[in-house]
A and B are shown apart, each in its own frame.
Chain A
């Protein structure tokens, strides 16, 4: 659209023709109030707050529906307009209760703000207000009818935004009201987006209602700890007698990677931090064989001396890291394992084959799609998985992109998914994961017509009559699908755990053959990608550098072995054979994950750092209570390689961050901590330290870290417990993690570049077969965290009962 010039309040503005006046004004810093207008959703023009005067037009116009044109002249503030807005507010307040002092929205209510700005001090209405008791629509959502101003934001958010369509407007006139789809309850995805969109306190959440006021909280923006999308979430924090309480989670300023989106887990799934099951004291197994509370000093001393003992005895030590700890902690853990324990026996419980993805992408820069790309991409090919359930933000982005930009979504799936409603074309694959059949799709896309065996899926097709009506055979349809995909100028290919190892290679190779094809590989946990990126792998160092050719790491890491270590399964096997002297588990539950017989650990000294007493922790010799992601600082990397800053929001008495625990254990073992965490200066005279310029005998003493810091105008960190010191080292050593700190520390996502992987890595990958255990967490589950989150448990049980009722009804028909 060509730009047009128009005048608002005497200021010349320029915007593309057809831009809504309200948008154009907001962009130019002119605020036009509105209740019903919500960026990105369809127009409602219901509230009349955005009225403005347009020259030569007899009546006031609504700015939210007026498209700007050349030469138009608008006035947005005048006595006449103020009067009109005042009248609107008076009508809205006609039946609005005056319960601001107890209303959740009090203090951040748009109606309150507008009343202060335009409203009258008194009302002409003398009629009694119509009161209705508040209604509980679900364990998450409450509705307070008299507070509702009928702006329809929730209705549109639920329908257009979430594609759930669980809210509607019923009756008319003064008795019009928002109604849920279940009559008196909600049967939906429980995302709470309606609550977020509500400009007043009509929709409130169970987790927050009547607990506090907005100004009594500290608001800390961090990253949601639940899934691999890594939404930015703002936690509302309040002091409590045992640390702090998280009382609310939302994305308050609509900033960051997820804009205004959060799902049920992000919004309501935070009460695990104050679960009574939380570990708050270190536990040591006593002579009687039971876990007994101990002090941190005792526990650290015990762990350190035991590890030294096992190391001195030359017995194997295994380390299993976490998918939910920060990059810094993961990096430190593998550095601790490799340099202090002197072993490559390090792994994590893998939910996706990121090493395989990195190998496939090696050497191809700018081919990885960030999560933001899915908001704007013109065409997307989604293969397998169900983002609506497992990657809610991705699903939101795809829906939004379809709605606002007419993005073309192609879906290849072996079972129907909800996102097909937004898909231009959908291909039912005749495969299941068991037959390894997703791999055949790559062949088919690559031109092999016989790759897909449709004979196996007759019964599946029968249940989907709409597909067969329009295409004569599945193969013809598949070919049409392929042609359409191939005809796209640019494409993002999104796939998940259905692809591993060679299958990823094949798919990525197909895509790399085309220009403008980017890839996203979906993982399950908040830092699954980070765990792999940071080298929690027996054969790969951080940045997927093979241990056999460690490059710079060879010089950095003392005692680095070039022999790949044992992976998690091999470690557990070794324990079963009595060959593992010690097992150090951080934030993982390998016994539950791999179904190991607890008896296997009889001859192994097991150390577990976790927030809860997991199955593995229950049989550990020492249990160290660690902080959750909401109680620490660092960075995490989401499925798409976007790095985000995690900020310490809450506090829990008794626990320590995994970072601090590791540093303390290393300290207890008598290690020079500066070799583990680069803090302070090298101790050879502060700023005059050797800057790597030396020659001869002293050249080996060049402090690379100090040199790098100086080169990047950074200062040494002061504390050995400062995770950002390790972030400096990560950035120094990992070409993929060249992070734009302005954005990172400003709370934005910063893409990493998985293309920067040494090409030699391709060879290192070929041979081995990894055990990958996808989590398949749905909308209301989140592994151990989810099980300890009361709000999520309630929602899950509720949705279960609601859906069961539907099934029972259908069966009765």
Chain B
């Protein structure tokens, strides 16, 4: 596309999108995958994201918004660096998912769809993530953590917090 230099996406993703829109008989078939990839890279579907996706496909921004708003896993607000998604569907629920969810709320000091003040964590109660055999389970970004107890949850949080800290230090030194 002609405005490639103005893309808000990374060159790799932009190239991927260029291929994706040509892949289907109808260009708009690429819409949902594009939104997912864009969300992974940008963190959420900002107006700018939806505008660029619309332009790449050749549909209106309204069309993109109509589709995107249908799907609960597409979001329009930024989440934390690590988005903690707790399954509370039947298997997890029977194995104490609500305890886990409450514990997370206490630990992080945020509720459903909340983001911590430092922006490291966000919390979400979600439908089945397909780990019923090792319930209860949660998902942090694309990583799974299963067979949970409150202690295990603390470890999980600690490990991500440490990761965030070290990344921040690296980022800080790089800037310095």
Contacts and interface: CB of A to CB of B under 8 A. Distances in A.
Q: Do A and B come from one complex?
A: yes
Interface of A: 165-172, 179-181, 813
Given A181-B60, A813-B6, A168 B70 contact: no
A168 B6 contact: no
Interface string B1-44: 00000100000000000000000000000000000000000000
B60 A170 contact: no
A97 to B, nearest CB: 24
Interface of B: 6, 60-63, 65-66, 69-70
A170 B65 contact: yes
B69 A181 contact: no
Contacts of B60: 165, 181
Given A168-B62, A181-B60, 18 more contacts: A165-B62, A165-B63, A166-B62, A167-B62, A168-B63, A168-B65, A168-B66, A170-B65, A170-B69, A171-B69, A172-B69, A172-B70, A179-B62, A179-B65, A179-B66, A179-B69, A181-B61, A181-B62
A487 to B, nearest CB: 30
Contact of A169 (B6, B61, B66): B66
B31 to A, nearest CB: 13
6 contacts: A168-B62, A168-B66, A169-B66, A172-B70, A179-B66, A181-B62
A813 B7 CA distance: 10
A36 to B, nearest CB: 17
A184 B65 CA distance: 13
A171 B62 CA distance: 12
A171 B70 CA distance: 4
Contacts of B63: 165, 168
Nearest to A155: B66
Contacts of B69: 170-172, 179
Contacts of B61: 181
Which of B62, B66, B70 is the most central at the interface, judged by chain A CB atoms within 10 Å of its CB?
A: B62
Nearest to A465: B2
Contacts of A171: 69-70
A168 B70 CA distance: 12
A169 B63 CA distance: 9
State the majority secondary structure of interface residues on B.
helix
Contacts of A172: 69-70
Which of B6, B63, B66 is the most central at the interface, judged by chain A CB atoms within 10 Å of its CB?
A: B66
A167 B70 CA distance: 15
Which of B63, B65, B69 is the most central at the interface, judged by chain A CB atoms within 10 Å of its CB?
A: B69
Contacts of A170: 65-66, 69-70
A169 B62 CA distance: 9
A168 B69 CA distance: 11
Contacts of A167: 62
Nearest to B48: A813
Contacts of B70: 170-172
A150 to B, nearest CB: 13
A184 to B, nearest CB: 12
A166 B60 CA distance: 9
A165 B65 CA distance: 13
A570 to B, nearest CB: 52
A813 B63 CA distance: 22
A254 B132 CA distance: 58
B73 to A, nearest CB: 13
A165 B69 CA distance: 17
Nearest to A187: B62
Nearest to A813: B6
Nearest to A182: B62
Contacts of A181: 60-62
Contacts of B66: 168-170, 179
A172 to B, nearest CB: 5
Which of A165, A168, A180, A813 is the most central at the interface, judged by chain B CB atoms within 10 Å of its CB?
A: A168
A179 to B, nearest CB: 7
A215 B66 CA distance: 38
A167 B60 CA distance: 10
Nearest to A180: B62
A179 B65 CA distance: 9
Question: Would you list the 3 A-B pairs with minimal beta carbon distance, nearest first?
Answer: A168-B66, A170-B69, A181-B62
A170 B62 CA distance: 9
Contacts of A813: 6
Contacts of A180: 62
A336 B69 CA distance: 67
Contacts of A165: 60, 62-63
Which of A165, A167, A170, A172 is the most central at the interface, judged by chain B CB atoms within 10 Å of its CB?
A: A170
A180 B6 CA distance: 27
A167 B66 CA distance: 9
Contacts of B6: 813
Nearest to B60: A165
B82 to A, nearest CB: 27
A170 B50 CA distance: 14
A813 B3 CA distance: 11
Nearest to B65: A170
Nearest to A181: B62
Contacts of A166: 62
A633 to B, nearest CB: 45
A137 to B, nearest CB: 13
A719 B91 CA distance: 89
A403 B70 CA distance: 28
Nearest to A164: B60
A732 B66 CA distance: 60
Contacts of A169: 66
A167 B63 CA distance: 9
A168 B6 CA distance: 28
Contacts of B65: 168, 170, 179
A189 to B, nearest CB: 14
A181 B66 CA distance: 10
